[in-house]
Chains A and B, each alone.
Chain A
Amino acid sequence: MKHVSFEVKQGEVLGLLGENGAGKTTLLRTIATLLEPTAGQVQVGGFNTVKESAEIQKKIGVLFGSETGLYDRFTARENLEYFAMLYGLGKHETKVRIDELSKMFGMRDYLSRKVGDFSKGMRQKVAIARTVIHNPQIIIFDEPTTGLDITSSNVFRQLIHQLKREGKTIIFSSHIVEEVSMLCDAVAMIHQGELVYHGTLEQLYEQEGSRDLNYIFMSKLVRGGDDYAV
């Protein structure tokens, strides 16, 4: 990645758009403290991702695509309890939070079942719950609805709306342009490791003279600005 510089405001939902291999996941991993930038720096909540990663890790929740990060031999509840413990939540707080999330995602029926027996949609719901178990201020989702059915995708979208209402800062990448236009306040477009656009959706629509994000995406990224007939 090179020449990538942007800021996400508190409480903003930023959509990260780009083709496969554009560098979206690398960028998100760098923000999530999993990768160190070879040049420049990334600050999350005022903390440097390299020098103060521990501080950032307390404040963020991260979910990378279909990599649910769940233990198959544990029940959904045990998985959530384990990650709550790692984030330093107390027993009572954990119980309350699991109740809230299981209600929100409709997971009560299978909370006591082992994750290894779950469908992809069920796993993804538990993984999202795991990501937000510690009520983080900043949440990163990398293509979270990939492979999900319509119901599960809708549940995820409802979650984003709710988190947005709660004032959380959210960055998520998606290849579903409609999803980004529906949920995001701002958008960042990555093409071959470079940031080609960052700004609000309204600014983008105004700049491009169209409210069709799909058209803008194709003209800006896929065809490098060539004519594109909708």
Chain B
Amino acid sequence: MLFNIYVKELKDCFRDRRTLLLSVVLPIVLMTGFVFLFEQLGSHGKDEVYTVAVTQSFDEADRAIFANYKNLEFIEVNDPKSAVLDGLAIIGLEFSRSFKDVEKSNDAIKITIIGDALSQNSAIVMSNIENALSDYERTIISERLQQHKVDISTIEPFSIVYEETIDGDFSLAMLAYLIPLILAVSVGIGAGPAAADLFAGEKERKTMEALLMTPIKRSTLLLAKWLAVATIATLTGLVTLIVIVMEIFLFTTDLKAAISLGKEPYIVVVIAILVVIVYALVCASILMLTSILAKTIKEAQTYSAPILMLILVPAFYVMGLGVNELTFFDFVIPIVNLFAIFKELLLGITQYNHIAMTLISNLALTLIIFIICRILFMKDRWVMNS
């Protein structure tokens, strides 16, 4: 009986075009868009040639400073700032005099870099120019010190070496952390219409009363409906996850390099699937609760939308932490731990005690919400509109 009701509920949901659209089509479109956006952001500037506006006094000696930066193309204009404002160049560069006779004069050359710090392209070019000038500055200082028989190490008492605790490109890895966030939102959006329809919708259309007048136990009805919502939530999560994994590994280079799945990638994928299923169960329970509390589909959506938005809070909290900063509590608190565990998984870390804590705490939360739903569902007030 439970299975038959479950199958009927699923059939009913999938005949609703909104469910199909939001649980299957939307994750595919959304994730495809994000994967290619991330890939483009990650590889940004690698093959791009940027135009730098310089004054007409910009000569070969000046140009030689940037010889190693093949992605910089210089155009000579009267007013570099106007050229930047008119969109002719990304950056404007002005020297108070040429570097041609820099060795002969100790007068400092004033360099003006004109750009828009809010533009990613502008920031990349500014960084390139600053690096080129720093290198050249160091060369000049070294030469001048040698003339005075002073070793460069005299003015450089130490050197700094940066060593990352994570493998790969850090900025790309940060982008990769957005994946669980999108996954979480997708699951909520995918299962939302089904949850609203199966409880609030049935109350609104009065089909719930017809069901309640049959000899079926309310708890059986509730379980079948929850299973249907959980199935759709899981399906959305898995479709999203599969789309992410396939597209990253088949169609991207930089993003693939940024995500380290460690030595046991298949185990990481299996754990990721488990985590997605558990999140889907939590999500299905929350959505079921909001739908039971509501009298209409619209009301259910009004309740569920801000709750699903709240999920962004733990996601951003975890995103701001390093993997070494995650504490015991981050793996105990439901939902927070889902993002924490994903952070570890994306770095190829599989801590089984963390995984167990995450799964158990979220399953416990699911059970608690389900019990609350059952208590409400047994009361006529919450199960019938009249």
Residues of A within 8 A of B (CB): 29, 32-36, 54, 57-58, 60, 62, 64, 67-74, 82-83, 85-88, 130
Contact = CB atoms under 8 A, between A and B. Distances in A.
Q: How large is the interface on B (under 10, 10 to 19, 20 to 34, 35 or more residues)?
A: 20 to 34
A71 B202 CA distance: 9
Q: State the 4 A-B residue pairs at the shortest beta-carbon distance, nearest first.
A: A69-B210, A67-B206, A73-B15, A86-B214
Contacts of A70: 207, 210
Given A35-B380, A82-B8, A64 B212 contact: no
A87 B214 contact: yes
Given A54-B215, A83-B214, 19 more contacts: A29-B386, A32-B213, A35-B380, A54-B217, A57-B213, A57-B215, A64-B206, A64-B209, A67-B206, A69-B206, A69-B210, A71-B12, A73-B15, A73-B16, A83-B210, A86-B1, A86-B211, A86-B214, A86-B216
A33 B213 contact: yes
B384 interface: yes
17 contacts: A33-B213, A34-B209, A34-B213, A54-B215, A60-B213, A62-B210, A67-B206, A67-B209, A69-B209, A69-B211, A71-B12, A73-B12, A74-B11, A83-B214, A86-B1, A86-B211, A86-B215
Interface in B192-237: 205-207, 209-217
B4 interface: yes
B210 A130 contact: yes
Interface in B1-23: 1, 4-5, 8, 11-12, 15-16
Contacts of B384: 34
A54 to B, nearest CB: 5
A44 to B, nearest CB: 12
Nearest to B214: A86
Contacts of B15: 73-74
A54 B11 CA distance: 27
Contacts of A73: 12, 15-16
A53 to B, nearest CB: 9
Contacts of A83: 210, 214
A213 to B, nearest CB: 29
A57 B212 CA distance: 9
B215 A87 contact: yes
Contacts of B4: 85
A71 B13 CA distance: 11
Nearest to A59: B215
A79 to B, nearest CB: 10
A83 B215 CA distance: 10
B207 A69 contact: yes
Given A69-B207, A73-B15, A74-B12, A57 B214 contact: yes
Contacts of B16: 73
A58 B209 contact: no
Contacts of B386: 29
A54 B212 CA distance: 10
Interface string B325-356: 00000000000000000000000000000000
Most B CB within 10 A of own CB, among A62, A82, A86: A86
Contacts of A62: 210, 213
A88 B207 CA distance: 18
A43 B290 CA distance: 35
A35 to B, nearest CB: 7
A49 to B, nearest CB: 12
A182 B310 CA distance: 61
Contacts of A68: 206
B222 to A, nearest CB: 14
A81 to B, nearest CB: 9
A73 to B, nearest CB: 4
A78 B121 CA distance: 60
A34 B380 contact: yes
Nearest to A55: B215
Nearest to A116: B15
Contacts of B215: 54, 57-58, 86-88
